[in-house]
Structures are given as C-alpha cells and as structure tokens.
C-alpha cells in the first residue's frame, strides 16, 4: 500500500499510523493504540483529537471505556475537497491583498532589490523577464550593451528570444562593445569600436538592470537589480553614449 498519498493530503506520519491502526484493528482504546503504534499516551490523545477535527475518526463509550474508530475511507475525499475549498478562499483573498503588497513594495523602491541566477535556466528567466516587463511598459523599448561571449550564452539559453521580441513589438537599442552583431527587426545597433572581448552583457529595461556574464568556473550567471533610480541613471548614460557614437 502506498501511504505517501496520505501525507500529501496533509496527514503527519503519526496521524497516518494511528488512522491505519484504527482501520486495521477496528474500535480501539487509547491503551490499545499505544500498544499498536508505540507512541506515548499523550501523543495518541493529541493525534486522535486532530483526526476527529479532520473528520477521520470518532469515538463512543463502551461501559466505562472510550473507544475510537476510523471513519469510512471515503471521508479522505471529503478532506481533500475541504482543503481545496480553503485554498480557493485563500486564493481569492490573496488577489485582494496583492495590490496592497505591491504598494508596500513600491514604497521600498529606493532600496535596490538584487536577484541572482545561474545556468541556462537562470539566463532564460532573465530574458523572459525582459520581454514580460517591457511588454507592460507604455514605451515598449529597452537598451543593451552587447558582449560577444555573453551573447553566445543568451542564444543557448533562449534561441527564439529575438523572434519572440519582434512578435511582441518590442524595440531595442544596442551598443556593441566590439565588432559583430546583426540587425534583425525593431532594433538599432551602434558600435563602440573597442577590441576588448568583454564577457558581460547589460540590459536596461522597465526599471531594472540585468547583467549576464560568467563566473569563476566559466559558467553563465546573471543578476537583476530592480531600482528605478539605478535604471534611470543607466538609461541616461546609455543614451548619451548612443548620441556620441552616432
């Protein structure tokens, strides 16, 4: 019998043990359950109370003794349904709470929020965040400093990124630190003209700045800094440099 499903619906190991003991042995006293499970008397009492609250056990009096029995096994379905209803109500309340939480987050906007990501999945998450965030902006545009080595990591992590960007109508201005790079659509590119092979790719978008590079193990890593002031400063520097290398 696979009893792990009983744990997945919220029963503890001890609750499962006593519930199964009641099913297998029928009406049992607390002393009997202590013998069946090896748990102490106080723990058995607490678990029986918990099982009763969940609708999985009940009791009756036989002469001077109190006997406990397991409810029908189909009560487990009712327990799951009750939990689903609770989750549904929590979800509804959470929807109402989110605007308040976002308001609190906005108040703390002066403190940069930094998030670190590793590997292909991490880089793809950053790129998806760029598309999803910029899509919600009035001006669907972002800015990048392109670096050759990091560009390879980006292509490996999200091969269809450019296609998806164009499909969403998102524009990009790119400054390439060295030679290379093509125009694909809804994009402009200028070249800084350096010979340095910088491994850091910088994205300036929707109140955030992201940096994609390599760590000491030569594996792809990325960082997102979410802060309006940092974003605005980096945007000003980028656009000034853009004009200078026209």
SS (H, E, C) the chain: CCCHHHHHCCCCHHHHHHHHHHHHHCCECHHHHHHHHCCCHHHHHHHHHHHHHCCCEEEEEECCEEEEEECCCCHHHHHHHHHHHHHHHHHHHHHHHHHHHHHHHHHCCCCCEEEEEEHHHHHHHHHHHHHHHHHCCCCCEEEEEECHHHHHHHHHHCCCHHHHHHHCCCEEEEEECCCCCCCCCCEEEEECCCCCCCCCEEEEECCEEEEEEECCCCCEEEEEEECHHHHHHHHHHHHHHHHHCC
pLDDT of residue 64: 76
Higher pLDDT, 88 or 196: 88
- Asked whether the predicted pLDDT for residue 196 surpasses 70, the reply is no
pLDDT of residue 137: 93
Domains and CATH numbers, the chain: 1-107 (1.10.10.10), 111-244 (3.30.870.10)
pLDDT in tens, 122-178: 999 999 999 999 999 999 999 999 887 788 899 999 999 999 999 999 999 999 887
């Amino acid at each position: 019998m696979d009893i792990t499903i009983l744990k997945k619906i919220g029963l503890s190991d001890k609750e499962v043990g006593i519930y199964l003991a009641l099913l297998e042995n029928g009406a049992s006293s607390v002393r009997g359950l202590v013998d069946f499970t090896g748990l102490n008397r106080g723990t058995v009492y607490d678990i029986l109370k918990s099982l009763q609250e969940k609708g999985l056990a009940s009791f009756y009096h036989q002469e001077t003794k109190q006997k406990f029995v397991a409810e029908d096994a189909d009560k487990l379905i009712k327990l799951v349904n009750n939990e689903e209803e609770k989750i549904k109500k929590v979800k509804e309340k959470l929807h109402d709470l989110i605007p308040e939480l976002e308001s609190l987050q906005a108040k703390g906007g002066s403190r940069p929020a930094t998030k670190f990501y590793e590997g292909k999945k991490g880089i793809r998450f950053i790129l998806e965040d760029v598309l999803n965030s910029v899509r919600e902006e009035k001006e669907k545009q972002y800015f990048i400093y392109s670096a050759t080595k990091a560009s390879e990591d980006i292509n490996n992590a999200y091969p269809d990124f450019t296609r998806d960007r164009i499909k969403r109508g998102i524009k990009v201005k790119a400054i390439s630190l060295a030679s290379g790079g093509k125009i694909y659509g809804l994009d402009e590119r200028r070249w800084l003209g350096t010979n340095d092979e910088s491994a850091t790719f910088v994205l300036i978008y929707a109140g955030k700045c992201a940096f994609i590079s390599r760590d000491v193990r030569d594996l792809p890593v990325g960082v997102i800094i979410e802060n309006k002031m940092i974003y605005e400063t980096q945007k000003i520097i980028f656009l000034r440099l853009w004009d200078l290398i026209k």
